[in-house]
Amino acid sequence: MIAASACLLGYCCRYDGRTSPSPALVKRAHEEAVLPICPEQLGGLPTPRTPSDLYGGDGFDVLDGRARVLDRDGRDVTKAFLKGAFSALEKLTKRNIQVCFMKDKSPS
Ligand code: SF4
């Protein structure tokens, strides 16, 4: 089994309630088991939601406490993003999934 960002598989989980399907991944999901993962929803954020951006560094800096994730209304959603990231990691680890295709240009 592999995993992929849920929005790449056609799930409407993006901040704007839409999807960003990758035709190649959607096709692959019809041929083999692909676990959909949406860390933002796993972190408890609603859909649709205010989009968020990284401030002060990258995702590694967020993990180290040197950067934050703020939504465009100025709310600090760092905890939700961390919760979602660790929840996603737990799901991948539990199933021993070694390959995960993730959406680029997403703070999560
Ligand atoms: S958290 Fe990942 S899967 Fe969820 S909408 Fe954002 S990019 Fe897509």
| Coil, strand or helix at 40 | helix
Q: Which residues contact 50 (CB under 8 A, 6 or more apart)?
A: 15, 71, 72, 73, 75
Query: Mean pLDDT throughout 47-68?
Result: 97
Residue of 20, 105, 108 with the most ligand 1 atoms within 8 Å of its CB, for mutation? 108
Q: How far apart are CA 26 and CA 32, in angstroms?
A: 10
14 within ligand 1 shell (Cβ under 6 A): yes
Domain ranges of the chain: 2-101
Summarize pLDDT for 60-88 with one digit per residue, the tens.
999 999 999 999 999 999 999 999 999 99
Write down the pLDDT at residue 30: 97
Q: What is the pTM of this model?
A: 0.93
Q: Within 13 Å and on the Cβ side, how many CA atoms surround 17?
A: 4
Kindly state the tokens that stand for 34: 């692909």
